Structure 1
């Protein structure tokens, strides 16, 4: 027999036994009954959108969400809401963005304003003299250079003499 005919025979056996059932009774349900998901959880009432979905994609019942309503899987009884269930974490407001100094704000304006003016002038077909184009390109380059120079890639001034491992 050639290796190809052995492989063909194996495939024929797999295809022939595709619809056959196993003799073992546990083959119909490969997991314990306690792991079955209840119909209430299968209702698809938006549990995943509220963050109640399990990692495997199985929707969990309302009782797993901690909202105090739903039946307890261990006892099968309805449980009453508890006093602390409505508490949600509300993060503090973020700190305000720092106000840059006048030079950095002007640099950002030049960086974006020069090309924006050229684009707007080209779209609206404004007449562009040579000095206007030069000023817009020079503003873009100057804004970029000022921002890069002020970026500073050295250690902070208060880091002391030992700045740890430097890679």
Structure 2
């Protein structure tokens, strides 16, 4: 047989079995032991919504009101990320630039909402503070390689 005829036969089998239902291959595979739920942990552990309780569950819940529930065991399979590093404090110029960037428009908005009288020089100062803060932050951003990278800075991303 040629490879082409083998491929044609495979396609015929696929087309012929298109409307057939597949067998459940997972039916023969047993559950992993850690997936098994026992009666003690499966009933009344707080996973059910309040409206999902069966009529007989109310009596069992009333019997357990005085019992202390043991905390759930810690699952070792979950990833617990390390604590994030502290935020950098920045220098005085950066903090002043951020204050000017947000403070100028915030003052104008607050003055407009509270109907404070706004002289021309106050509006000019607030808009100038916004523009100056933005320009200083953009200029200080720096898009070049670090100064300590040496002569071969490699792939700069």
- Whole-angstrom CA distance in 2 between matches of 1:81 and 1:113: 48
TM-superposition CA deviations, 1:130-158 (whole Å, max 9, x none): 11111111110110110011011111111
TM-superposition CA deviations, 1:37-84 (whole Å, max 9, x none): 3222212424799999999xxxxxxxxxx9999999999999999999
TM-score (norm 2): 0.53
- More relative contact order in 1 or in 2 (CA 8 Å, sep 6+)? 2
Which structure shows the bigger proportion of residues in helix conformation? 2
Give 1:87 shift: 15
Matched positions, count: 157
- Whole-angstrom CA distance in 2 between matches of 1:165 and 1:51: 58
The more displaced of 68-77 and 23-32 is 68-77
- Whole-angstrom CA distance in 1 between matches of 2:80 and 2:153: 37
2:97–2:136 Cα contact (<8 Å) kept: yes
- Whole-angstrom CA distance in 2 between matches of 1:28 and 1:89: 31
RMSD: 11.1
The more displaced of 122-131 and 2-11 is 2-11
Gapped runs of 5+ residues in structure 1? 56-65
Gapped runs of 5+ residues in structure 2? none
The more displaced of 29-38 and 134-143 is 29-38
The more displaced of 91-100 and 154-163 is 91-100
TM-score (norm 1): 0.50
TM-superposition CA deviations, 1:73-111 (whole Å, max 9, x none): 999999999999999999987554332222111101100
The more displaced of 115-124 and 35-44 is 35-44
